[in-house]
Amino acid sequence: MRKLTGLLLMGGFVLYLVSLVPGLFNATTPTALDSVGAAIIEDSRTTSGSANVVTAIVVQYRGLDTLGEVTVLFVSALGVAILASGFRDDVFRSMFADDDGGFILQYGGRLLMPFIVLVGVYIVAHGHLSPGGGFPGGVLIATAVFILILTGQSARMPHRLLSILEGAAGLGFIGLGALGFLGSELSFLTNTLPKGEYLTLLSAGFIPFIYAMVGIKVASELTTVVSVLTEAPGHESGKEEGRS
């Protein structure tokens, strides 16, 4: 019965996906945007100065929602950290610390890791110009750190530094949003910084700065999640045994 239900659900999902294909079921697929989308695309160049309209929507038009998303991510990272560390605040060694993982992982990881960080920083910094932004860029940086953990290069994570970075980035987000009170509109998360020249790196007012804050916050939170999951409390802490 459960399998039948699952199959029915899956069939419905197939129909949903098939109906998304334009021109397959209905010949009159709308090609123009509806009222809200068209209005935002027309408005976003003057209001936000961001070339990527998706970024303009995420950071400016629904900036408060993004703040909420960041908060949700923070709460989930906090929960994982508390659960995985077993309510003990000693710092444990990574379970990959004694295992170098073999030649290919060791040197391939060391070779790839800076480039992955570079791509992550690029995606964060160019969020207002090209696809991407703070969330995927931060995830990429956290993934690069996980490669470092896998190769056993980082026996201990600087958790204090990570939490300071994370809190400072959150405060920076709120501070940049509070700059909106300086403008004439007197509202939170209003883009009051100078817009700069369209399609350059330092344009779009506070959007690149907020995305940098989101990138730092996401990267440090997810690095904490991944490293806490690899630091097993059952595993012997490196305090007693001499670390080589």
CB of 175 to other proteins, least distance (A): 26
Q: Which residues of 29-40 are buried (b: 16+ CB within 10 A; e: fewer)?
A: eeeeeeeeeeeb
Binding site for other proteins (CB under 8 A): 3, 6, 10, 13-14, 17-18, 20-24, 52, 54-55, 80, 84, 95-99, 123, 131-133, 135-136, 139-140, 142-143, 146, 222, 225-226, 229-230, 232, 234-236
**CA distance readout (Å), 225 to 78, 134, 139, 234:** 8, 17, 11, 17
What is the DSSP code string of 104-146?
HHHHHHHHHHHHHHHHHHHHHHTTTTSS--HHHHHHHHHHHHH
CB of 44 to other proteins, least distance (A): 14
CB of 6 to other proteins, least distance (A): 6
Q: Quick one: residue 133, left, alpha or beta (phi over 0 = left, psi -120 to 50 = alpha)? A: left
Of 71 and 187, CB closest to other proteins: 71
CB of 143 to other proteins, least distance (A): 5
